[in-house]
Amino acid sequence: MKRILIVFVILFLALSFNAAGDDGIGLSVGMEFGLGDIGRAGGAILPCLTVPVVIYDTSFVNDTIDLYAELSYSLGFVEKTDDLFHSLYFDFLFGYNFMFGTGSTISVSLENELDSIELAPEFSLTGIFTPAVKYNQGLDFGDLYAQIGVPLTYHDVGGIVLGIDSTIGWNTPFGLGLEAVVYSEVYPNAAYLGVGALVSFAPGPVYFELDLYIPGDVEAEGITLTPEFEYFLFGFTIYLSVEFAGIGIPDGTTVITPTLGFKYSF
């Protein structure tokens, strides 16, 4: 695993200098601090420090190829114990864009997200491999797009889950973005999982996002609502998000998870 991560980092740095332009090399570094379990019955407020966060995000060859990679390390406390947990998060995406006609683009992407690599107190790994196809049409009133993704979730202890994510969206010329996603499972069980909605607005250096997820079984899982605010100035970005999970569970308690972070982009 360590050798694979080192190879990816070296590859990204090499490509970043080849792709560098007026917008920089696409490399960002930062850190964030979060609190967990606020509001949970019998739960303590658990601090979690994520440091560092390294992101590489760029396009090159006339915007034909997209690369995205993110690596972060988290340190925090295990609930109701004094034990520390250590975990890694790694996400890698490669995309290729076929441009044709007037403002029409078909994008094919492969993403492998190691959503959770728990190093201590016990090792565990959860990953999501997602091939996806996206169609984007640029129009006078903004960009309309549709995407089909097929996420394959896997674990170190075995067992896989195969799903389908169906997305439609609209990005306006004045910074407003609207997106809706339908989540479903096809293996090992055929089931409707839920629906998500995302509203974003980016007027200048300010970015605001409201993310909503409504599961198929609200009483069992609860609705999740996450507002996020970002401010960008001279290469620095400061962001604040607050996740409200478990909304709508009968006799349940909404769990609040605030996160504050910053990053600098080169």
Whole-prediction pTM value?
Answer: 0.85
pLDDT at 253: 80
Q: How far apart are CA 264 and CA 266, in angstroms?
A: 7
Q: How far apart are CA 108 and CA 131, in angstroms?
A: 8
Give the number of domains in the chain: 1
The two beta strands, 206-215 and 65-77, are unpaired
Short-list 147, 193, 184, 144, CA closest to 164 = 184
Give yes or no for residue 141 having a pLDDT over 60: yes
Q: Is residue 215 part of a domain?
A: yes
Residues 98-111: tens digit of each pLDDT: 998 888 999 999 99
Q: How far apart are CA 188 and CA 160, in angstroms?
A: 8
pLDDT at 11: 52
pLDDT at 96: 97
| Higher pLDDT, residue 19 or 190 | 190
Q: Is residue 54 part of a domain?
A: yes
Query: What six digits make up the tokens of 154?
Result: 């896997």
Q: What is the CATH number of the domain that holds 86?
A: 2.40.160.40
* Cβ-based neighbours of 234, under 8 Å, separated by 6 or more: none
Give the mean pLDDT of 239-262.
91
pLDDT at 1: 47
Q: Is residue 189 part of a domain?
A: yes
Q: Is residue 139 part of a domain?
A: yes
Residues 27-60: tens digit of each pLDDT: 999 999 988 767 665 655 667 778 779 999 999 8
Q: Is residue 124 part of a domain?
A: yes
Give yes or no for residue 4 having a pLDDT over 60: no
> Beta-strand (E) ranges in the chain?
27-36, 46-60, 65-77, 84-100, 104-120, 124-139, 142-149, 152-155, 160-171, 176-187, 191-201, 206-215, 223-233, 236-247, 255-265
Q: Is residue 15 part of a domain?
A: no
Q: What domain range is 256 assigned to?
A: 27-265
Give the mean pLDDT of 168-182.
97
Q: Is residue 207 part of a domain?
A: yes
List the beta bridge partners of residue 1. none
Q: Is residue 239 part of a domain?
A: yes
